[in-house]
Amino acid sequence: MNIAIVCYPTFGGSGVLATELGKALADKGHNIHFITYQQPVRLSHFHTNIFYHEVRVPTYPLFDYPPYETALSSMMVDVITNNNIQLMHVHYAIPHASAAYMAKQILKKQGRHVPVITTLHGTDITLVGRDKTYKPVVTFSMMESDILTAVSHNLKEETYKNFDIDKNIEVIHNFVDVKRFHRKPVDAFKQLIAPNGEKIIVHASNFRKVKRVEDVINTFLLINEKMPGKLLLLGDGPERPYAESICRDCAAINNIKFLGKQEQMEDILPIADLFLLTSEYESFGLAALEAMAAEVPVISTNAGGLPEININGYSGYMSNVGDVQDMAKNALAIFKDKETHNRFKANALAQAIKFDIDNIVPQYEKLYESLVFELAQ
Ligand code: GMT
């Protein structure tokens, strides 16, 4: 099939998932056309079936707000027309679903019907999308999508709760390529970070308020009072300066490292002993799933869709949002002895395998086939 994928190209989970999906589909022989404003972060290798179309938004003195959505719709029309695209899969409702609606209407006038699948990822519904500034357009464009999917059951419920829509939402969980993440840790790297065998604890996010990075640091400090550890903070975002400032004032400063944005998560995660995700909400928690695929147990909150991936007392533990005492206690329980830690590690991997790329990508392919088949009737 010839498929157009529209996503945010940045480090956010929705862009990562969309890019990994496109790569997996290309490996299966589909032609994938990415449409976005910058080369997606995870799209680093050449692939004969993958094409990247950059959306450029010309500036003009009149434009305080250059119209990205208009440029995106025009690019969709161009790519679809010139590459015989059979369907368009947009990730993150704003503004991708409404731009897709506009492109679809333009193409319809030209006698071409291109079905649209919209995948909801989380903040497009729970945070930004339900704001009254965007809500009518998000509601309309969800209803106009041929198929609507959500990355967790929780997100599906949140969508019905927050929007007046009577459309079926298919749940297709996010996935991870377990083979890629399940690697032997590089001992020299581990030795460099934790020269005295300290436990390596990792957090990765876009450092937005919703991630509660301060809770990550406070949980680590509590763990560190009982056993020596090193905290690696991966990613960047608006809360990073504040997070760095609180670390500068604490005694454990030498045990905390801010590594910034990292493309090769599969190189770093295998050296971790534990992954911390203290978010106020996660529709899914793709970062935690990637950690589990690298055989790393997860201490997380029980918010949103996290209980759908992290199993309490099995692949890690879950606590109420903000309960850093409980998170630290649970981390220490995992580190109780080697045998317990190894059991949690093995369980984390077993849990990740349920969301392996080979189990999930065919679910999208099935949807695509149903749409294209329906159209041929
Ligand atoms: O977490 C973010 O702020 C980024 C956001 C995104 O859209 O890139 O992530 C959302 O989508 C991911 C992929 O489906 C999910 O794993 C994250 O849980 C979800 N984030 C939130 O719901 C806060």
Q: Can you give the pLDDT of all 377 residues of the chain as single tens digits?
A: 999 999 999 868 999 999 999 999 999 999 999 999 999 988 988 899 999 999 999 998 899 999 999 999 999 999 999 999 999 999 999 999 999 999 999 999 999 999 999 999 998 888 787 788 999 999 999 999 999 999 999 999 999 999 999 999 999 999 999 999 998 878 888 999 999 999 999 999 999 999 999 999 999 999 999 999 999 999 999 999 999 999 998 888 999 999 999 988 999 999 999 999 999 999 999 999 999 999 999 999 999 999 999 999 999 999 999 999 999 999 999 999 999 999 999 999 999 999 999 999 999 999 999 998 877 77
Q: Report the 10 Å Cβ neighbour count for 354.
A: 14
Q: Which domains does the chain show, CATH number per domain? A: 2-175+357-376 (3.40.50.2000), 178-353 (3.40.50.2000)
For the sheet with 229-234, list strands across it: 256-260, 229-234, 199-204, 274-277, 298-301, 316-319
The preferred substitution site among 158, 284, 290 for testing ligand 1, maximizing ligand atoms within 8 Å of CB, is: 284
The preferred substitution site among 14, 162, 234 for testing ligand 1, maximizing ligand atoms within 8 Å of CB, is: 14
Residue 182 sits at φ, ψ, to 5 deg, of -85, 85
Q: CA–CA distance from 109 to each of 86, 105, 112, 137, 328 (Å)?
A: 17, 7, 7, 22, 59
Q: Report the 10 Å Cβ neighbour count for 30.
A: 17
Q: Are 277 and 202 in contact (CB under 8 A)?
A: no
Helices (H), the chain: 13-27, 68-82, 93-109, 123-126, 135-144, 153-162, 178-181, 187-193, 213-226, 240-248, 265-268, 286-293, 324-334, 338-353, 357-376
Question: Which ligand 1 atom lies nearest to the CA of residue 286?
Answer: 16
Residue 208 sits at φ, ψ, to 5 deg, of -95, 165
72, two tokens: 């995106």
User: For ligand 1, atom 23, which residue shows the shortest CA distance?
Assistant: 282
Helix (H, G, I), strand (E, B) or coil at 80: helix
Smallest Cα–Cα separation from 33: which of 142, 114, 138, 107? 114
Cis peptide bond prior to 95, omega within 30° of 0: yes
Q: Are 118 and 100 in contact (CB under 8 A)?
A: yes
- Residue 71 CA to ligand 1 center (angstroms) comes to 25
Smallest Cα–Cα separation from 7: which of 100, 79, 101? 100
Distance of CA 117 to the CA centre of its chain: 18
Distance of CA 56 to the CA centre of its chain: 25
- Residue 25 CA to ligand 1 center (angstroms) comes to 22
- Residue 13 CA to ligand 1 center (angstroms) comes to 5
Smallest Cα–Cα separation from 267: which of 323, 191, 183, 333? 183
Tokens 């392996």 — which residue?
A: 356
Smallest Cα–Cα separation from 4: which of 24, 30, 27, 29? 30
